[in-house]
Structure 1
Amino acid sequence: MIEKSNHREEKEIQEIIKTMKDFLAKTYPDGNIRRNFHPKMHGCVKGMLEVRKDIPAPLRCGLFKKPASYEAWLRFSNAPPIAQSDKRSSGRGLAIKVLDVPGEVLEPDPIGKNSQNFLLTTSPILSAWNISLYRKAIKAVLFGWKERLRFALNPGHWRSLYLTLKYSKKHDNLLAQTYFSGGAFKYGTGKYVKFLLEPHHPELEYTLSEPKSDDFLKAQLKTDLVTSKQGFTLCIQVHDNEKTEPLENTSIVWKKESIPVADLWIPRQEFDFPEREELGDALVFSPWIAMADHEPVGEINRARKRVYQELAELRSS
């Protein structure tokens, strides 16, 4: 059901890495290379993940095996490869690094502590659902209108384009969004899940007195976190049926119920200062910086493993 890496897949991954490195070399000719996607950070903030006590016994596994509290770093961002105005439609990202997790991990974290990463966006799917389409879509996004036109003229790409546009939206408040893992993950032995993060206050809006600026999402986040504690509920959707919850095809929205497993608390704080900006830019996130019980599955996740590793090394070199 979950195919192993093969020669075709390796070739596609190498081409993806080359495309991304070519883009970064062109975009940052003087060095100081930023992330290929999600370079615009709204804020790097402190959080606390509290594993719930009421998780059903069959779902007590890995990070969620027993009640516990973990410190975490959260990085809010815009998805596009070039920083743009927050007023434009876009995907938004929330990357979470849960610190000092117990047990075996798949990859060490450069931060020096075992961690569990969750890479989430405001889209419930990944619109490029196989590695070949992923490679072509990345090239189209990164290399101008001619590549985008070439991609768009292929009828085989139209569904991916439709899904990308469908889930690219305008947002008023980062703390009011639901964030999704996109791909699937192992959940111990014999189970697979997707993760989603549901806001405690989905009613939050833009409340600042001045008109929205190009960076209004950060300004709103600063105001909200100075005035009150915020939070999300981390949930799982459990895979039961390959037709309705496919593990490989990331373009299908899972309709399963969301089961709460933890609360993510964001205490009142200030985060807009140089040292925190530097930390947020330096943090490395990958779905493979994770506990063995939550190993990513599928060819898109396998591609992400190599791509994220090599680009993180490039940024730190």
Structure 2
Amino acid sequence: MTEALKETVSSAWTDVKRGLSSAPPNDAYLAWDAEGVETIKPDEQEKVQRIKEVMERMQKHNFDLHRKAFRATHVKTQGIVKGTLQVHRDLPEHLRQGIFAEPGKTYDVAARYANEPYLLQRDQENGPRGLGLKVFGVTGPRLEGVDDSVNTQDFFFNNAPSIELTDIDTTLDIMSLREKYFDDPAALGRHLKMRTDLVKQHAPYMLPNTNMISHSMYTQSAFRFGKYYGHMALFPVPEAQKAANDKVKNDDPSCVLSDWLFDYFDGKEAKYEFKV
């Protein structure tokens, strides 16, 4: 390995460790319209369309393999549960935004636990895990183009605190590689190792492969929240939930993560703090 490459890997690994750390929150809030928060490139819409086309072809590939419809990522469902989301009664004013505007309000929710990768895989394979949260009974302004009759809001979480798809160009590159080597994960891994951001691309696959119920979950990307800009996250509360962190072993069933979720919810309650 050349000295230049060693320096690149060392720098990237430092960034990854910072991203995976549980650093304390800081109160230097970033305004949503601060300079540098978002810079839209001239060809961004064109590349967004190309990414959509790549992901649609990946979905078609999965359908052809399994004769079932799957997403382009977070393909393997591990479990779906129903629950409630209760807004804290004493939220400070700057956090009273959107569905959190009314203190004490309760919403019905459905949560989907899943493996993040784009293909069905054995649970022995390391990789990031996800949690999709659908909130029901939501009213208010919608994004442009969304049916006004829709009364749900979706949040998408991942147990990797930061996203390795750092910009539009990286996303297009990685999605194109995933499509090209869809049926050959080993070849995909070899090509990812040739990238200058190789440590960042492999970081999510270094996460502990443990019972999903114990994971903290993050939005990865940051979003506007009222006047500010930040991440959202779910943190387990019950001690039994945090302690359910068994590691997946080679001789476990290929669907062991799903089995553990079913076992946990058979008599126990999961509870998360939703934080911004």
**Which residue of the other structure, out of 24, 46, 56, is the alignment partner of 1:11?**
46
Question: Is 1:40 aligned to 2:76, yes or no?
Answer: yes
Q: Secondary structure at the match of 2:232?
A: strand
Question: Is 1:181 aligned to 2:184, yes or no?
Answer: no
What are the within-5 Å matches in structure 2 for residues 31-180 of structure 1? 32-67=68-103, 68-106=105-143, 113-144=150-181, 145=184, 146=187, 148-155=189-196, 157-166=197-206, 168-171=207-210, 173-180=211-218
Counterpart CA distance in 2 for 1:137 and 1:9 is: 16
Q: Secondary structure at the match of 1:75?
A: strand
Asked whether the 8 Å contact 1:123–1:182 carries over to 2, the reply is yes
Counterpart CA distance in 2 for 1:217 and 1:198 is: 19
Alpha-carbon offset, residue 206 of structure 1: 4.1
| TM-score normalised over the length of structure 1 | 0.65
| TM-score normalised over the length of structure 2 | 0.74
Figure out how many residues of one structure are paired with residues of the other and give that number.
Answer: 230
Alignment partner, residue 31 of structure 2: none
Amino acid across the alignment from 1:20? M
Alpha-carbon offset, residue 225 of structure 1: 1.1
Asked whether the 8 Å contact 2:216–2:236 carries over to 1, the reply is yes
Alignment partner, residue 229 of structure 1: 269
Counterpart CA distance in 2 for 1:148 and 1:204 is: 30
Alpha-carbon offset, residue 78 of structure 1: 0.4
Amino acid across the alignment from 1:225? F
Q: Secondary structure at the match of 2:271?
A: strand
Alignment partner, residue 219 of structure 1: 259
- Structure 1 segments, 4+ long, off by >6 Å, are 107-110
Alignment partner, residue 202 of structure 1: 242
Alpha-carbon offset, residue 147 of structure 1: 5.2
Q: Secondary structure at the match of 2:203?
A: helix
Alpha-carbon offset, residue 92 of structure 1: 0.6
| Structure number with bigger Rg | 2
Q: Secondary structure at the match of 1:230?
A: coil
Q: Deviations over 1:215-259 (max 9, x none)?
A: 1111111121121222111011xxxxxxxxxxxxxxxxxxxxxxx
Higher relative contact order (CA 8 A, sep 6+): 1
User: Would the alpha carbon gap of residues 8 and 149 (structure 1) be closer, same or farther in structure 2, given more than 3 Å must change?
Assistant: farther
Asked whether the 8 Å contact 2:128–2:205 carries over to 1, the reply is no
**Which residue of the other structure, out of 60, 64, 86, is the alignment partner of 1:29?**
64
User: Would the alpha carbon gap of residues 194 and 176 (structure 1) be closer, same or farther in structure 2, given more than 3 Å must change?
Assistant: same
What are the within-5 Å matches in structure 2 for residues 290-301 of structure 1? none
